[in-house]
A and B are shown apart, each in its own frame.
Chain A
Amino acid sequence: MSNCQAYESLIHLHLDRMLEPSEEQVLTEHLAACPACREKLAQYRRMQQALAELKDEPLPAGLHDSILAYVAAQENGKAPGREPSKAKRFPSWIWKTVAGVAACAVIAFAAPQVLPHKQSADTPMAEASAGVDEMSGAGVRAAAPVKPSAMPDTVADGAMDSVILEPANKAIFYHTSGPVTLYDFQKAVAEAADTRIGYLVMGREQSLPGWMDKTQFSSFNQSDGPSDYVYAPASEEYVWIAALETNGFTLYALDQVGEAPLRETDEREAQPEEKTVLFLFQWEKSNE
């Protein structure tokens, strides 16, 4: 008798009418001889029917209006779907925000060779030995070998550490703790613009171990969507924005973000007990 497990995949393709006639024949012959698989198929079929019925879920009263109201409140009357500009420049909201606000207490940039005007004397800087040999793909992936061990053990609130990743990727790694507000974020982006930092990622410290393995990062490179993961050809200098999320970060490409601030307010401020990490990765395009 045949091994039923081998027919399992055929059963599912059969249910979805995805089988070639020849495969259909193979399955039919097996089913004729195997009551267990026949019953299994019948169960799957019942399950599938019941699942399909779940689709017709009545919409809660008022949801349509509350969606529109929510969008209107969040976007404050802006036009939808601003065409992303192809220009490699930073949206004006960043400059406006940065210009008008006093020095940021949370983020003190401390990579003198890159951001000399922001150096803070007491900011420790550590060399990260983590090498990066895989440079293809997106910058975030390229920085994958950054491990929590490369980070300072403790960081006082408001202090900033940076780690220069040597030598291959020329990534600069900023690390801060405490809440990162929208303003911090915008400021960091502006700094990134000054120094031609290619990528920018922000997240929480807890999400560091293994965070590079997160599907966010493995999938965004092939994504064409405007969802969390925006496609960026590795050949182009993009700046990425990562919006702070409770569980990691949401990536935006600047040209997708357009004129919109990431968040209208600082409501995304980190929970006090959670350490927040801001990473900036410099990504220097090799000019061959």
Chain B
Amino acid sequence: MQGERDLLRLARSGNQAAFSTLVATYENRIYGLALRYLGSRDDAQDATQEVFLRVFRFLGGFHEESSFSTWIYRIGVNVCKDMLSQKNRRAEQPLEWKDEDESDCEIPLRDDRYAPEAVFESAQLRQSLCEAILLLPETQRQIILLRDVQGLSYEDIGVVLSLELGTVKSRIARARENLRKILLQTGNISTPVSSNPVKGGESHV
């Protein structure tokens, strides 16, 4: 992108307006990534700030071998990864569910509401998705966020996460499968039709 290249050059030369534009261009994506990755708005804001600090610091080392977008996503994933491990370390538990109502990802699992005929409902699914994403193993969470939320191509994900294409493919499949299972368990996505209950291996739900 020619415009972006100019922007990067300007930002690198110390032009504050250019840096600000760069921030404005990517802050939504980075904040969105961090929010779903970390599950807390406060943490997501901290992470977003940290990402752009690293961008500022390392802009000179970005030589456009890759796109700026994959570059900043890479920083984003790394910052989130660091923050999460710090958080987990402090909490000494895999996930920290906040008690305040600041997060929309904190409703308890609703086993009791489960009904096989449950109709998919968008708002509810959205809520449950946020929750389910946080239950995924971190590598799967990363890939779901990059692929299905942020919409990166397989190739770009490979660049961001330093993964071979084959690994990207298999990890996406595994992550989606897990996510679907979590949603099935919480009754937030309808179960497979039961005409052939044994075949799909999903009959236990």
> A44 with B32: in contact, given A71-B53, A227-B54, A245-B82 (CB under 8 Å)?
no
Residue of B nearest to A63 (CB): B45
- Not counting A12-B173, A222-B162, a sample of 5 additional A-B residue pairs whose C-beta atoms are within 8 angstroms of each other reads A1-B199, A4-B201, A34-B196, A50-B125, A75-B57
Question: CB distance B201 to A5 under 8 Å?
Answer: yes
A236 within 8 Å of B (CB atoms): no
Question: CB distance B52 to A80 under 8 Å?
Answer: no
Question: CB distance B78 to A81 under 8 Å?
Answer: no
Question: CB distance B48 to A67 under 8 Å?
Answer: yes
Q: Which 9 A-B pairs have the closest CB atoms?
A: A81-B59, A226-B58, A36-B200, A81-B60, A247-B85, A51-B148, A79-B14, A39-B192, A226-B61
B97 within 8 Å of A (CB atoms): no
Interface size class of B (residues with CB under 8 A): 35 or more
The CA of A8 and the CA of B130, in the complex, are separated in Å by 23
Question: CB distance B85 to A4 under 8 Å?
Answer: no
Residues of B within 8 A of A (CB): 11-14, 16, 19-20, 23-24, 27-29, 31-32, 35-36, 41, 45, 48-49, 52-54, 56-62, 65-66, 71, 74-75, 78, 82, 85-86, 89-90, 120, 122, 125-126, 129-130, 144, 147-151, 154, 162, 169-170, 172-173, 176-177, 179-180, 183-184, 189-193, 195-196, 199-202
Contact among B23, B36, B45, B130 with A68 in the assembled complex (CB-CB below 8 Å): B23
Question: CB distance B11 to A80 under 8 Å?
Answer: yes
A123 within 8 Å of B (CB atoms): no
Question: CB distance B126 to A70 under 8 Å?
Answer: no
State which of A54-62, A106-114, A139-147, A280-288 sits at the interface with chain B. A54-62
